[in-house]
Amino acid sequence: MNSLPQQLRRGLTLSLMLLMALLWWAGSLAVRTLGEDLIGSRLEHDAESLLTAITLSSKNQPKISCKHINPIYNRPFSGHYYIIHLDNESSYNSRSLWDQTLEVPHLKAGETEQWHATGPSEQKLLVWAKYFEKQNHHFTLAVAEDLTPLERHLSLFQWIFAALSVAALFILLLVQKQVIHKSFQRLNAVQADIQHLEQGETGSLSEDVPDEVLPLVKEFNRLLELLALRLERSRNSLGNLAHALKGPLNLLVQSLDSAALDDHPELRQQAQVQTQRIHQLMERELKRARLAGGGSPGQRFNAQQELPDLIKVLKQVHIKHTLDIELQIATETPAFGDREDMLELIGNLLDNACKWAKSKVLCRISGNHSIHISVDDDGPGRSESELEQLTQRGIKLDETVEGHGLGLSIAKDIVKLYNGKMEFKHSPTLSGLHVGIILEN
């Protein structure tokens, strides 16, 4: 999916979930480490108390004064245990171990170790041990404590922490959604400007945009300006060229009627055909420039706004005829196609109809996803064979039916460019020629 807000939300959501998981893991590890450090410190203090209570006889037999140790070491399987491991490999366990024992490694003088072990009833123990010397006797004293209460509290902490993390994640996602929404709202102005540009309400995009898209907007405006200048220059050049050629072409036509060519009728005929073709091409380009008019490049065609002005131009072109050019445009018809293409297409259809109409031309436009355009006139129409020629694909109209060639040829080229459909038949309303077009919007 190419939506930037959705990509940001997805990326930030995954990042926040990963962050919350890391916080949960780090928090649990920190609490466990802190708890075990506290228990280890307590075991060290208990070992010091036990060391004070231990008395070793000459036979290397330890005796422990019960008054100096915690009674919990005398209760069977209480979860608090100690072991005295002598250098002669003999061991003395606390009463709480009952008939079981713990493995204690051999330590060196002054060495201290702490490890996890499994105790009675599968208890998970933390064991602290140190090598001591007392009354000229050497021994290892190990003290252990059950970690089950710590595990229980740690599990409760993890569940609470997980619930708080999920709640915090949910709140952060809501805040993130609002922040992203407000941040991208500034881009709505760009979208609105593009729509206004498409509808011809503006000629450029506003540069009051975020810094990240400002270079893009500036470049787009520069290209719009450059394209408009080139388009205008191209139209003017074509028009000027056509006007410039008209004079020499007229002189050439007049020279073809001179008596000097009476002895070469075939040469005269060929020259007349070519000059007539040049004349048609010039008229085609002049008509394109006249019908297209001004406007921004890439602008969509709004029939309700553009066609009334086009009708005025056509009435001026065909001022010798008293024509009633009627427009029927459905209110739900959206802007469609490129403005210049559609002006050229409909302008040529209407121009062709005006040439042949007696008094009336009807233009109808409707549709939404598919745009339907029809132009009818009350002229003489065409025969069935001529209509069949007009409909055939791959045949240039200016090579088939005389008088309908130039305008319909341009129209057919534009319809082909838009992958549309074009049909010719007798007009059911005005009895002349009916031209129907379907374009996908």
pLDDT, tens digit (0-9, with 9 covering 90-100), for 357-387: 999 999 999 988 899 999 999 988 888 888 8
Q: Which domain holds residue 334?
A: 299-441
Tell whether 140 is covered by a domain: yes
State the average pLDDT over residues 346-365: 91
Q: What is the CATH number of the domain that holds 325?
A: 3.30.565.10
Domain-terminating residue out of 152, 182, 199: 152
Tell whether 212 is covered by a domain: no
Q: What is the CATH number of the domain that holds 125?
A: 3.30.450
CA-based torsion, 380, 386, 392, 397: positive or negative:
negative
CA-based torsion, 339, 345, 346, 348: positive or negative:
positive
Mean pLDDT of the chain: 82
Two tokens, residue 27: 């928090």
325 vs 391, more confident: 325
Side chain identity, residue 440: E
Tell whether 210 is covered by a domain: no
By CB neighbour count within 10 A (0-12 exposed, 13-18 middle, 19+ buried), where does 85 fall? buried
Looking at residue 398, what is its pLDDT?
45
Domain-terminating residue out of 117, 152, 187: 152
Q: Which residue in this structure is represented by tokens 């394109």?
A: 288
Tell whether 223 is covered by a domain: no
Q: How many domains does the chain have?
A: 2
Tell whether 209 is covered by a domain: no
Tell whether 139 is covered by a domain: yes
Looking at residue 296, what is its pLDDT?
53
Q: Are 343 and 301 in contact (CB under 8 A)?
A: yes
CB atoms within 10 A of CB 201: 12
- 396 has a pLDDT exceeding 60: no
**What is the per-residue pLDDT across 181-204, written as a single tens digit (0 to 9) for each?**
888 888 888 888 877 776 666 777
Domain-terminating residue out of 152, 187, 217: 152
**What is the per-residue pLDDT across 414-438, written as a single tens digit (0 to 9) for each?**
888 888 899 999 998 898 999 999 9
Share of the chain above pLDDT 70, in %: 84
Rounded CA gap, 106 and 130, in Å?
10
C-alpha gyration radius of the chain? 49
Tell whether 246 is covered by a domain: no
For helices 339-356 and 303-317, what crossing angle results, to 10°?
A: 40
Looking at residue 127, what is its pLDDT?
92
pTM beyond cutoff 0.75: no
Q: Over 227-259, what HEC string results?
A: HHHHHHHHHHHHHHHHHHHHHHHHHHHHHHCCH
